[in-house]
């Protein structure tokens, strides 16, 4: 193990379809101004988790900064889970839902300053059918959108939007769900069941305004019908949380069953069609460098 103070920079060269060299140069400069050494690792898409685990063993970094999309952030989150290694995020993917949710600003300069700062927060993570979820998973129409978007070949928010109209028209919704928690059993039909650790979709739409990222609970939201006016309001940050539009269950553990297999996504990655989901929360297990305002907000609420 190396004795110097290292930061590991994990770069996904294909994320978001854009060149990362100016970001790497800017990070190199900022790190050189501090008392750190930098080790850069470019992901290959093949066995990256094992390689990053070995680099952690070898370099003992105090911080890992990710330049990539939600998929790369999740990958590194698995590597630093329950460790005292700070995760820094420089969003460079196609949708960047986690960065939106963490209130990370748009400019690279600010993003680097935050990724290197001492403002950190320990956040909850969810485990859903054994997979880590930092942000939001869902069953139903949004997962169908993610699936159609991934297979469309059109990247970015525009591609996501283009897919939404045929998906909404062709969907087999409503779906029928049974939700089992320590509090009891709930039966409900809806077009979308979201499992939310946080409160925004990758598109920026607020679906869970009361969600807190470090409270040791998660929310299950069953949207009963997706009417276009309500979707529009939700995207504009004024969600209708009335009970005829959405039912909300807050809990620590749940088993969700559906009468038929339906599309399922975690953190923007389409997983498959399933009819049973087991969810639990692990409180404050991931140490993330976040904007000062965001950290203060959650520290004082907690
Ligand atoms: N060098 C590489 N070549 C090809 N694929 C790679 C490489 N490095 C990582 N990947 C793949 O990139 C994906 C993660 O991309 P990430 O989510 O970070 O960015 P993204 O642009 O938002 O992508 P997506 O739109 O697919 O979510 C993983 O599927 C991973 O296997």
Q: What is the pLDDT of residues 55-80, one digit of tens each?
A: 999 999 999 999 999 999 999 999 99
Q: What is the total residue count of the chain? A: 302
What pLDDT digit, counting tens, does each position of 229-264 carry? 565 555 556 666 777 778 889 999 999 999 999 989
Q: Give the ipTM of the model, two decimals please.
A: 0.96
* Reported confidence tier of residue 28, pLDDT bands at 50, 70, 90: very high
* For ligand 1, atom 17: residue with the closest CA: 71
What pLDDT digit, counting tens, does each position of 270-289 carry? 899 999 999 999 999 999 99
Contact call for residues 188 and 247 (beta carbons, < 8 A): yes
> What's the CATH number for 6-117?
3.40.50.10330
* Predicted local distance difference test score (pLDDT) of residue 131: 94
* For ligand 1, atom 23: residue with the closest CA: 15
pLDDT above 70 covers what percent of the chain? 83
294, HSE (Cβ side, Cα atoms, 13 Å)? 23
What pLDDT digit, counting tens, does each position of 141-154 carry? 777 777 776 776 65
The span from the first CA to the last CA of the chain, in angstroms, equals: 37
* Reported confidence tier of residue 225, pLDDT bands at 50, 70, 90: confident
Judge whether residue 226 has pLDDT over 70: no
Question: Is ligand 1 within 6 A of the CB of residue 91?
Answer: no
Judge whether residue 52 has pLDDT over 90: yes
Question: Is ligand 1 within 6 A of the CB of residue 71?
Answer: yes
* Two domains, one topology: 6-117 and 131-282: no
* Predicted local distance difference test score (pLDDT) of residue 158: 52
User: Could you tell me the two tokens for 33?
Assistant: 């101004």
Q: What is the pTM of this model?
A: 0.87
Question: Is ligand 1 within 6 A of the CB of residue 101?
Answer: no
> Counting runs of H as helices and runs of E as strands, what totals does the chain give?
9, 14
What pLDDT digit, counting tens, does each position of 151-190 carry? 766 555 555 555 665 666 667 778 899 999 999 999 999 8
Domain map (residue ranges) of the chain: 6-117, 131-282
The yes or no reply on domain 131-282 and CATH 3.40.50.280 is: no
Q: How far is CA 275 from the centre of its chain?
A: 22
Picking from 31, 34, 32, the residue whose alpha carbon sits closest to that of residue 65 is 31
* For ligand 1, atom 9: residue with the closest CA: 45
**Cis peptide before 174, with omega less than 30 degrees from 0?**
yes
- The secondary structure element, H or E, covering residue 176 is strand 175-181
Q: What is the DSSP letter of 200?
A: B
Judge whether residue 302 has pLDDT over 50: no
Judge whether residue 135 has pLDDT over 90: no
CA atoms of 251 and 248, how far apart (whole Å): 10
Question: Is ligand 1 within 6 A of the CB of residue 70?
Answer: yes
How does the average pLDDT of the chain come out, rounded? 86
Judge whether residue 81 has pLDDT over 80: yes
Question: Is ligand 1 within 6 A of the CB of residue 44?
Answer: yes
């Amino acid at each position: 193990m190396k004795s110097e103070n290292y930061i590991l920079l994990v770069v996904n060269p294909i994320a978001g379809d854009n060149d990362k060299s100016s970001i790497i140069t800017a990070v190199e400069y900022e790190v050189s101004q501090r008392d750190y050494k930098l080790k850069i690792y470019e992901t290959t898409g093949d066995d990256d988790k094992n390689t990053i685990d070995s680099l952690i063993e070898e370099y003992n970094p105090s911080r890992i900064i990710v330049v990539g999309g939600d998929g790369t952030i999740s990958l590194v989150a698995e590597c630093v889970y329950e460790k005292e290694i700070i995760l820094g995020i420089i969003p460079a993917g196609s949708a960047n839902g986690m960065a939106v949710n963490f209130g990370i600003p748009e400019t690279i300069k600010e993003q680097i300053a935050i990724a290197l700062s001492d403002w950190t927060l320990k956040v909850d993570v969810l485990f859903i059918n054994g997979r880590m979820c930092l942000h939001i998973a869902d069953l139903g129409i949004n997962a169908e959108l993610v699936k159609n978007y991934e297979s469309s070949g059109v990247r970015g928010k525009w591609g996501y939007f283009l897919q939404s109209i045929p998906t909404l028209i062709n969907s087999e919704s409503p779906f029928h769900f049974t939700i089992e928690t320590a509090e009891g059993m709930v039966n409900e039909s809806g077009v979308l069941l979201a499992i939310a650790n946080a409160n925004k979709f990758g598109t920026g739409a607020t679906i869970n305004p009361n969600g807190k990222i470090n409270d040791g609970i998660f929310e299950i939201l069953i949207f009963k019908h997706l009417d276009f006016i309500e979707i529009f309001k939700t995207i504009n940050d004024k969600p209708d949380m009335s009970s005829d539009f959405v039912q909300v269950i807050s809990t620590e553990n749940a088993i969700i069953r559906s009468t038929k297999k339906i599309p399922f996504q975690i953190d923007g990655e389409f997983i498959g069609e399933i009819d049973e989901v087991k969810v639990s929360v692990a409180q404050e297990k991931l140490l993330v460098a976040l904007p000062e305002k965001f950290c203060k907000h959650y520290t004082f609420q907690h």
